[in-house]
Amino acid sequence: MKARLLIILSCLTFGPPLLAQPESATDTIKPTQKASLTDSIASLSLRLFTSNQAISSDEIDNLIMQDFGDHIKRFTALDVTRIGSLSQTQSFNIFGVPSGSSGIYSGNFFFNPPGLSVPFQSQGELNLIPIGNIKSVRLVENPLLNLILADSRTGGLFLDEKDYEGGEPYSCLTFDQGIWGYRRTQVELGRGFLSKFRLYGTMGIHKYDGELPRNQQDLHNYSFRLSYDLDSKTRLVTSSQIHSSKREIAPFPGIEAESLIVKQSFQKLNLSLYRQMLRENILKVGFDFARVKQEFKPVTWRSLDKVYGLRLELYPQQLGHNNTKLSWNVYNYDYQDESKHSLVKDNFSLTNLLQISPKLWWLAWGNFEGIDSTGEFVTNRKFSFLTGLAFQADSSFRLYASGGRVNTYSALKDSYSPSRTIFRDTVPVYSESGHLDLRKGYHWYLQGGLDWEKRNLRLGSYYYYSNSKRGIVVSRQDTLLYGSWSPQNVDVQTHGASFYFDFHPGSAFTFYTNFSFKNWEKGRQSYLSKSSSYSFIELDKEYFRNQLGWKIRIEGEYLGKRFDEDKAPLNEVLVLNAKVGLRILAVNFYFAVKNLTNQTYRSGSQFNQPEKNNWWGLYWEFFD
């Protein structure tokens, strides 16, 4: 492995001849002209070949949320499922496809392990996502997410972390308090030192007593990002996240008496070195480490997930007509409960973005990947590929299409999680286990769409088809009171469409809506709706040269027809939320009401979602 790494480092340092030529492009989406360390190929490709939807923290109302699931609900291509209230397990599926192979990219790599919970989870736990250091969330509804970092992903979310970009020292305070003992406090600081150091840090505390018994939670999140300019061509970036939590869970009605508590501790560290090379190329070298320890009481279940590895990237600093990116990464994954299991996965990918004409772009991506579970670097290599065409008529209109195939793999927990049972007195009431016979799968997809933006109006739509072979889905067998749960290989075939509309006729009014429809030819899972939508109307008024202002937002969330784990149909539901804000100088006061009309509905378990509840708070940002 060391020899391979030295060879690749040597090749990347001297630069292969097929990298981007420094000729200028006359495209309609013009790349930035100033020097930048950003991956220009991945950035432009995601703008050209996806719906390019994002949620920015610059909009204060987007920050009025209680958890990460609240933050991403406007992306109706995602089905966010919740097992009850805030403290319960949350996860998402993307366009009706099992989410074990979808990803959340944060801190330069993917690491969003499933929670140790009841019932068995093979999907990423959203409660582990710290909301304090998120600058923006971008939806990547297809496997082009692998352009950022090749890792066999079928789609997901790209989280852009907050960073101090210079200027005056920056500080921010957020404070929330609501019914059922809900309170959240967050502090953010941005500072510069000696003209070369830049530091951005956050600290957050999140507590909740719950509307039902056994629903308490206590979360602590810390993060920092440190940038250091070694010289005009070299930058070192270090970032870290620390999360600790204690949550009471009650996944099934009647199981509250078991007093189930899950403790989680999460640490993540990323190091990235950027170096401007010859021929105007950027070499990016990185090291990543993450660790999640989980403990389940009083049944004394434990698990420990660890991942560490290296990544290398070489891409042009500025775009030309023909642009190429080389990328390689290798990660070691460890999973330990009653025994320890490990594997090594490596990816070598090539991305080419070609400007065929001033208005037409072609994308090609290929990835050679291998998995070694023997420790002898013996791999069964596979190949994934993606391609696409985008027509940018002018700065306002875009047509795009993409498709391809990526290979998918089961997680170590899915295969090696031991057989576990919960007893009531001496009677077993719940059991779970991994599945050693899970097979590798693959995911085909095809997407085509259009996007039109003019002045204060933006609208777009896309059609999506996917065929996921041998995806991982947790299956329930009713052999016990609360079931016996185990992951299984399932084929899922789905198609559908999504539409979004964003209208700003003036500075005082905004209307936004996002609607998705999907249909399963096979493999439909419980709690996934065929149609869903999210909309809001916002009124905004400023006074005294923007020194004083108020804002009102009404949100509507619609969930269409779906069924539960017993195949019983669930009613359609429209949930209304309201947010009212008052700004005095740099201090924003707000009041929010969730489930305004007190709807009774279920999202991911036999528990109903919380009834009408409210919270209030303030958001204050200032420069020292």
pLDDT tens-place string over residues 520-565: 998 888 889 999 999 999 999 999 888 899 999 999 999 999 998 8
The CATH number of 2-623, from 3.40.50.300, 3.40.430.10, 3.40.250.10, 2.40.170.20, is 2.40.170.20
Considering only residues 273 and 623, tell me which one the structure prediction assigns the higher pLDDT.
273
Bond into 119 cis (ω within 30): yes
Q: How much is the pTM?
A: 0.88
User: Which residue is listed with tokens 């990835």?
Assistant: 367
Could you write out the DSSP letters of every residue in 431-460?
A: EE---TT---EEEEEEEEEEEEEETTEEEE
Q: Which of 393 and 272 is assigned the larger pLDDT?
A: 272
Per-residue DSSP letters for 214-239? Answer: T--EEEEEEEEEEEEEEETTEEEEEE
> What are the b/e assignments for 52-79, b being 16+ CB within 10 Å?
bbebebeeebbbbbbbbbbbbbbbbbbb
Separation of alpha carbons 9 and 303, rounded Å: 35
Higher pLDDT, 311 or 567: 311
CB atoms within 10 A of CB 253: 13
Residue 58 dihedral angles phi and psi, to the nearest 5°: -65, -25
Distance CA(178)–CA(180), nearest Å, equals 7
Q: Is the pLDDT of residue 91 over 70?
A: yes
Summarised one tens digit per residue, pLDDT across range 283-337 is: 999 999 999 999 988 888 999 999 999 999 999 988 999 999 999 999 999 999 9
Distance (Å, whole) CA 425 – CA 408: 41
Helices (H), 50-142: 68-71
Residue 126 pLDDT > 50, yes or no?
A: yes
**Residue 380, Cβ neighbours under 10 Å: how many?**
10
Q: Smallest Cα–Cα separation from 210: which of 96, 312, 84, 327?
A: 84
Spatial CA neighbour of 351 closest among 78, 562, 43: 43
With b for 16 or more beta-carbon neighbours within 10 A and e for fewer, the 159-182 pattern comes to bbbbbbeeeeebebebebebebeb
- Residue 240's CB is within 10 A of a number of other CB atoms, namely 17
CA proximity to 55, closest of 128, 131, 139: 139
